[in-house]
Chains A and B, each alone.
Chain A
Amino acid sequence: MSTEEIISIDNQTSIPALFRFRAQTLKNKVAMREKHFGIWRTFSWDQYYSKTARIGKAMMALGLESGQTVSILADPCKEWLFFDLAAQCIGCVSCGIYATDSAPQILHICEDSDTTLLMVENEEQLDKYLAVEERLPNIHTVVVLDSTGLTDLDHPKVVMLEQFYHLGDEGDEDLESEWNRRIDNAEPNDTAILVYTSGTTGAPKGAMLSHRNIIFIAQAFHEFYPITAEDDSVVYLPLCHVTERLLSVFLPLARCSTVNFIEGQDTAFENITEVSPTYFLGVPRIWEKMYSSITLRMKDATWFGRKALQIALSIGSRAADFEDKGLPVPAHVRLMQRAADLLVLNNIKVLLGLDRVRIGLTGAAPISPDLIGWFRALGVPLYEAFGLTENVAFACGNHRGQVRLGTVGKPPPGVELKTAEDGELLIKGPLVFKGYYNQALKTAETIVDGWLYTGDIAEIDADGFVKIVDRKKDIIITSGGKNISPSEIENQLKFSPYVTDAVVIGDGRKYLTCLVMIDNETVCQFAQENNVPFSDFKSLCATAEVQSLIKSEIERINLSLAQVETLKKFRLIDKQLTVEDDELTASMKLKRNVVNEKYADLIDQMYS
């Protein structure tokens, strides 16, 4: 690579430098809010920076050198950000671990990344570390945020957060100048963060993302989705996932916006409603949940209310059509839409917490275009975007005036896209990652000639919109030799409020079948309306009425499919799947291979 273009924000070419600059210029502006004991408490950029500096100094006092790795194992909270940025500022690499990971998984990541310092949230996470401690000799310190249940702990490597802060407070001036020196020394091509991607084959690999990658994406993102200092967002998805990291750590750094932390997983939706963010990212499952919560509530609403919503949505849909094409909305349509919004739609948005959303995003998994259409009709600007961990979460996206439903939009300036002969999508630009940590072979397979091989099959249409067909590995080849994209079929099925998820099966088989996971709430409601008796979830799935309900949903989508693509049979998964049982990924996608294995007998039934 010859002379690279300098990429910077406000003349800062690295994250640490940008962070320090922000703290110096923004000072008392609110950087983050956290709900604590019922009220929202604010933290300014100044406080954010000083806390982070104390942690950074403590890390240096413990002997952390540039280039070493710091791992973070916690649910989203402000300390996550402090540790993340502190590590980057002292020249280390910050690596996040899912709080739902098990001890063996944590062992793999810490080993693979050569972690020297680990931050854990509480006793639960600490226990996981202690289970695999002997095999992680490189970790010399473990910092615990919440000392509940650990007052009697006496472990040479474990430090509580309060003590850890003090480590940095002693030895003032030397550490202070060292801190600033390290920030000054940060090079754009240094690895800033390590993000482990859950591979479908083999163990997770650590993707190295540099300061340059991140700053470029923060800028590119802003081209499509303008964020200002007045914006508010909610932090609720795991921060180790690159998309949440981008939106909640780096974007606010770049654009000076404010982040709001949820109280806990159980109160996530409630908190979103309270904060009413101005930009919001959700994985498709979140949007689906919001949609079905409204459909469910409307079932119990008055007749007039239901009718009003129906009319309001159709008006909203018309207005959205014009907007998506980039055309001006006719005055009378705009007027009707305003009225519909004021009288009907706004309340629904307030209920979901989406009334202030200027930019709604969905990604990380395929989503049904009908679902996006519903939200657009509601008046929520929802755009589908696409990206991999390996390109810092964002490669292309639909945005205002450039929307084509069913596609993931166009790439921003500076990003090149093309498809290989077999249809695999390739990406080139400053957003392509450095490589996998300690995996030269895998890296060489993934980046060839500067092009990132995404592993997704795509079609780029005449206007430059990208349509993702499917993961290369997931494409089904029937015994008749036909190539079928299961995601497309699954998406259509998932738009039904009764279906949470579906897996289409047919690789090497004569015909296609599917396993369906139904939505407990909506199907329960259906059973209640039709007086269908049932006891638990299993018996609900087993009732004849629910079977025929799902059958009719499947027959409905079969109508729009080619003969060879139709689903001939189905079975219901009569257990609620969870992330912990490894049946779902952290972004709540059904793990295809795991499901195929666990329910092999159901599958065999369908093909016997």
Chain B
Amino acid sequence: MSESPLLQVRNIETFYGPVMAVRGISLDVHEGQIVSILGGNGAGKTTILKTICGALEPQKGTVVFSGQDITAWQPDKTAKQGMGHVPEGREVFPFLTVKENLEMGAYSRKGKNEIDADLEMVFHYFPDLKNKINLQAVLLSGGQQQMLAMGRALMMRPEILLLDEPSLGLSPLLVSEIFDIIYRLNSEQGVTMLLVEQNAHMALKVSHAGYVIEVGRIVFDGDRDALLNNPDIQEFYLGKKQAIGREKRRWKQRKTWR
């Protein structure tokens, strides 16, 4: 990984009114990688993603994508630049059909043949959608909507896919399925992904590297092995109980990083 990263985020600071949501965030995503941002509720993961794609404006810091400074660009501009965003909670167009939703994904593209080929590719990865191709999106189940949202983003032929909590509200079986698809998309199609997840277990299965966020700051980062083997991550995020070394801690403060 010696070439410069595809996505370079430096010193981001984003506010919601007077409240500082994230501070001092710097991360890298190299081409072909899946990078995860892990953390609990309210840690600031979605804020980071939204800042990257332009839905939120950072007060400090820069976002550089493919060598281009896209800090504070509007989301439609970043999308045209190749940044595909699958928002939290799916956000499919409820009254358009599955096909129309996917076609919307290809909005900024030209070339009917490639678009049709991509449509086939999406159906190849999400066979469930093919059955419901003319159904209005609002009638799909949560899992299918998630697939639709991802497929729609893929239709953009994005250089990087920003996935915001793909496992949110889905059954464990479906979560497994989705992550399976994520893995295959990356390994077979080479799609670079930045993943925001609360489900650390699944996320670490497919990621190459990760950042752990707490209260708006990064508290740990490293490649997959470093994350899986770190005892703090094992205890706080993967549920392994620590046998020794923590008795002295106050219950409230059990969670501090060594």
A535 within 8 A of B: yes
A319-347 CB contacts (< 8 Å) to partner B: none
Whether the pair A524, B221 counts as a contact (CB closer than 8 A) is no
Whether the pair B258, A575 counts as a contact (CB closer than 8 A) is yes
* Given A533-B10, A535-B221, A576 and B250 contact (CB-CB distance below 8 Å): no
Of the listed stretches B23-31, B43-51, B113-121, B132-140, chain A binds B23-31
Whether the pair A581, B248 counts as a contact (CB closer than 8 A) is yes
A578–B246 alpha-carbon span in the complex (Å):
12
Whether the pair B248, A534 counts as a contact (CB closer than 8 A) is no
A103 within 8 A of B: yes
A159 within 8 A of B: no
A509-541 vs B, CB cutoff 8 Å, 1 = contact: the mask equals 000000000000000100110011111110110
A141–B13 alpha-carbon span in the complex (Å):
54
Partner of B24, one of A102, A124, A534, A580: A534
Whether the pair A534, B219 counts as a contact (CB closer than 8 A) is no
B157 within 8 A of A: no
Whether the pair B26, A534 counts as a contact (CB closer than 8 A) is yes
A456 within 8 A of B: no
A436–B212 alpha-carbon span in the complex (Å):
49
A176 within 8 A of B: no
Within the complex, the shortest CB–CB distance from A40 to chain B, in Å, comes to 23
**Which residues of chain A are near B219, meaning CB under 8 Å?**
536-537
Partner of B13, one of A265, A528, A581: A528
A426–B60 alpha-carbon span in the complex (Å):
56
Within the complex, the shortest CB–CB distance from B69 to chain A, in Å, comes to 13
Whether the pair B253, A533 counts as a contact (CB closer than 8 A) is no
A100–B24 alpha-carbon span in the complex (Å):
32
A582 within 8 A of B: yes
Number of A-B contacts (CB under 8 A): 61
Closest to A102 in B: B248
A534–B23 alpha-carbon span in the complex (Å):
11
**Which residues of chain A are near B13, meaning CB under 8 Å?**
528
A524-571 CB contacts (< 8 Å) to partner B: 524, 527-528, 531-537, 539-540
Counting contact residues on chain A (CB < 8 A from B), the size range is 20 to 34
Whether the pair A578, B221 counts as a contact (CB closer than 8 A) is no
**Which residues of chain A are near B62, meaning CB under 8 Å?**
531
Q: Which of A266, A527, A536, A582 has the most CB of B within 10 A?
A: A536
**Which residues of chain B are near A524, meaning CB under 8 Å?**
23-24, 217
B178 within 8 A of A: no
**Which residues of chain A are near B112, meaning CB under 8 Å?**
none
**Which residues of chain A are near B24, meaning CB under 8 Å?**
524, 527-528, 534, 540
**Which residues of chain B are near A582, meaning CB under 8 Å?**
248
Whether the pair B11, A533 counts as a contact (CB closer than 8 A) is yes
B211 within 8 A of A: yes
Interface residue SS majority, chain A: loop
* Given A527-B24, A578-B253, A536 and B221 contact (CB-CB distance below 8 Å): yes
B249 within 8 A of A: yes
Whether the pair B26, A535 counts as a contact (CB closer than 8 A) is yes
B15-63 CB contacts (< 8 Å) to partner A: 23-24, 26-27, 60-62
**Which residues of chain A are near B257, meaning CB under 8 Å?**
536-537, 575-576
Whether the pair A580, B221 counts as a contact (CB closer than 8 A) is no
Whether the pair A580, B250 counts as a contact (CB closer than 8 A) is yes
B247 within 8 A of A: yes
Whether the pair A578, B23 counts as a contact (CB closer than 8 A) is no
Partner of A528, one of B60, B218, B256: B60
A25–B24 alpha-carbon span in the complex (Å):
58
A103–B249 alpha-carbon span in the complex (Å):
11
Whether the pair B26, A533 counts as a contact (CB closer than 8 A) is yes
A539–B24 alpha-carbon span in the complex (Å):
12
Closest to B20 in A: A300
**Which residues of chain B are near A540, meaning CB under 8 Å?**
24
Whether the pair A580, B218 counts as a contact (CB closer than 8 A) is no
Whether the pair B221, A102 counts as a contact (CB closer than 8 A) is no
Whether the pair B247, A103 counts as a contact (CB closer than 8 A) is yes
Whether the pair B253, A539 counts as a contact (CB closer than 8 A) is no
A532–B220 alpha-carbon span in the complex (Å):
17
Name the 5 nearest CB pairs between A and B, nearest first: A533-B26, A535-B221, A535-B218, A102-B248, A580-B249
Interface residues of A (CB under 8 A from B): 99-100, 102-103, 124, 265-266, 524, 527-528, 531-537, 539-540, 575-576, 578, 580-582
Interface residues of B (CB under 8 A from A): 10-11, 13, 23-24, 26-27, 60-62, 211-212, 217-221, 247-253, 256-258
Starting from the known contacts A540-B24, A576-B257, A581-B248, 13 additional A-B residue pairs (CB-CB under 8 Å) come to A103-B247, A124-B251, A524-B24, A528-B24, A528-B61, A533-B26, A535-B27, A535-B218, A536-B219, A537-B257, A575-B257, A575-B258, A578-B256
Chosen A-B contacts, 11 in total, with CB atoms closer than 8 Å, are A100-B250, A103-B247, A524-B24, A527-B24, A528-B24, A531-B61, A531-B62, A535-B27, A536-B218, A536-B221, A539-B221
